[in-house]
Structure 1
Amino acid sequence: MLDQLLRVLTPTVVVEDVFVANNMHPKAPRVYGGQVLAQALRAASETVASDREVHSQHAYFLRPGDPAEPIRLEVERALDGGSLSSRRVVALQRGKPILVCSVSFQRPGRGEQYQQDMPVVPAPETLPDERERALANDEMDEDFMIATGGDLDVRLVNPVDWRNPVTRPAHLEAWIKTSGPVADHQGLHPALLAYMSDTLLVDVCLLANGVSYLQPELQVASLDHALWFHSPVRADEWLLHTVEAEHVGGGRGLARGRFYTRDGVLVASVAQQALMRYR
């Protein structure tokens, strides 16, 4: 499964600045948003100098993706400055955009240092992984495995029973990494973090009111997504993903998250707004 994910996150060049990519879950009801985020970031990374590292991605989800159709990624070279590069990426299916995003890169620099401290949580080895938990509880959806597939190892500090949701404090923590080692190809580890970053953000907004995405009358979809990279990251080593709901109202939910290394270094921050309304 990890090999498949790495192939999906390695778009094929069609012509200069145009790529095509396949989908991780071809039988799913829709394309996982984190997959398109990661593919767009990876395509943009292929068009910048190797000494420039991604520091942010800002995206809008425009249409649901069809998992049976390949995704075309068109990159616009908006800027190549002295230390910064900017790219605009449009992901399309059947000629219509499903996602648009801006990705910014920078040569590594020096400056003052400060970060939010990592919360104290149990070590990942002490927690069950989501795949084992889903199999044990007969909750596995073989067609749409994000936290429960064989490509990622995801371990929630306080797992959620979506079949019997209850109102809980609006925060979640999960250890996450790839299920095996990953080579150091340009942009690959940041793309994998982008793939991971679309987890838990909608979940924590649902938990704030004790509702579940399994409720058929509830329409849930990501609207926009922002990701900031603070330090080099390895997606094949444990990362703590901490998420909290910022606001739920008006048929939308806003959540913020952080990614820490095991030794407490804040490597990325994320924010996402999602549609959350009754049909």
Structure 2
Amino acid sequence: MLDQLLQVLTPRFVSEDVFIADNMHPRAPRVFGGQVLAQALRAAAATVPVERAVHSQHAYFLRPGDPAESIRLEVDRALDGGSLSSRRVVALQRGKPILVSSVSFQTTGAGAEYQRTAPEVPPPESLISERQKALETGDFDDSFPLVTGEDLDVRMVTAVDWHNPRPLPPVLSAWVKTNGSLNQPDAVHASLLAYFSDTLLIDVCLAATGRSYLRDDIQLASLDHALWFHGSFRADEWLLHTVEAERVAAGRGLAHGRFYNREGVLVASASQQGLMRAR
């Protein structure tokens, strides 16, 4: 399954600055937004010198993607400066954009450093994986196994009972890594983090308001998403993803996320606004 995920997150070259990508879960109700984020990042990275690492990505989700149809990615080379490269990527199905994204790359530089302290949480070895939990409880959905598949090992620090929702503190955390080692360039590790960054951000807004994604009377969708990469990391080693709800209002929820490695180094940050309105 990890090989399949890596293949899906590697768009195929069609012509200059044009790529085609497949979908990870063809029987899902819609394309997972994190997948298109990651594919857009990889398409952009394919047009940039390898010594320039991605440092930010900003995206808007425009339409639900059809998992039965491939995705066309068109890259616009907006800027190649002395140390920065900027790319605009449009992901399309049936000629219509489903996502637009700006991705920025930079040569490595030195400077002062500061970061907020990583939270103290139980180690991943002391926690049960979401896949094992789903199989034991009978909640496994083989059409959309996002955090319960065989490709990723996801272990929730903060358990949420979606069958019996109640308002919780507005913070969720999970450990995540790939199931298997990766001898891949940095752009692949960055795309895997982008893939997973689209999880938990709507979840924490739901948990803070005591609602569940299992309810049919709530419409949920990612609206816009931002990622900042602060340094190198490996997606096949444990990363702590901590998310915090900022505001839920007007049928939308805003949340922020942070990724720390096992040494407590903040390697990436995320923000997302999601649709959370009554049907």
> Which TM-score band applies after superposition, normalised by the shorter structure?
over 0.9
With normalisation by structure 1, the TM-score equals 0.99
Q: CA deviation at 1:159?
A: 1.7
Q: Is the 8 A contact 2:13 2:20 kept in 1?
A: yes
- The corresponding residue for 1:208 is 208
- Is residue 134 of structure 2 the alignment partner of residue 161 of structure 1? no
Structure 1 Cα separation of the partners of residues 268 and 179 of structure 2: 20
Structure 2 Cα separation of the partners of residues 184 and 130 of structure 1: 25
> How many percent of aligned residue pairs carry the same amino acid?
68
Q: CA deviation at 1:184?
A: 2.0
Report SS of the residue matched to 1:60.
strand
- Is residue 143 of structure 2 the alignment partner of residue 143 of structure 1? yes
Deviations 1:222-251 (A, max 9, x none): 000000000012100000000000000000
Q: CA deviation at 1:185?
A: 2.7
Report SS of the residue matched to 1:49.
coil
With normalisation by structure 2, the TM-score equals 0.99
Structure 2 Cα separation of the partners of residues 67 and 132 of structure 1: 26
Deviations 1:120-160 (A, max 9, x none): 00000000000000111111110001110000000001221
Amino acid at match of 2:2: L
Structure 1 residues not aligned, in runs of 5+: none
Structure 1 Cα separation of the partners of residues 159 and 2 of structure 2: 23
- The corresponding residue for 1:80 is 80
- Is residue 69 of structure 2 the alignment partner of residue 69 of structure 1? yes
- The corresponding residue for 1:60 is 60
Matches within 5 A, 1:44-193: 44-185=44-185, 187-193=187-193
Report SS of the residue matched to 1:37.
helix
Structure 2 residues not aligned, in runs of 5+: none
Structure 1 Cα separation of the partners of residues 182 and 58 of structure 2: 25
Amino acid at match of 2:135: L
- The corresponding residue for 2:267 is 267
- The corresponding residue for 1:17 is 17
Report SS of the residue matched to 1:109.
coil
Q: Is the 8 A contact 1:46 1:186 kept in 2?
A: no
Q: Is the 8 A contact 1:257 1:270 kept in 2?
A: yes
Q: CA deviation at 1:70?
A: 0.2
Structure 2 Cα separation of the partners of residues 145 and 258 of structure 1: 23
Q: CA deviation at 1:98?
A: 0.2
Deviations 1:42-66 (A, max 9, x none): 0100000011000000000000000
Q: CA deviation at 1:186?
A: 5.1
Q: Is the 8 A contact 2:247 2:255 kept in 1?
A: yes
Q: Which runs of 4+ in 1 moved over 3 A?
A: none
- The corresponding residue for 1:222 is 222
Amino acid at match of 1:213: Y
Q: Is the 8 A contact 1:45 1:186 kept in 2?
A: no
Root-mean-square deviation (Å):
0.6
- The corresponding residue for 1:246 is 246
Q: Is the 8 A contact 2:239 2:261 kept in 1?
A: yes
Q: CA deviation at 1:162?
A: 1.0
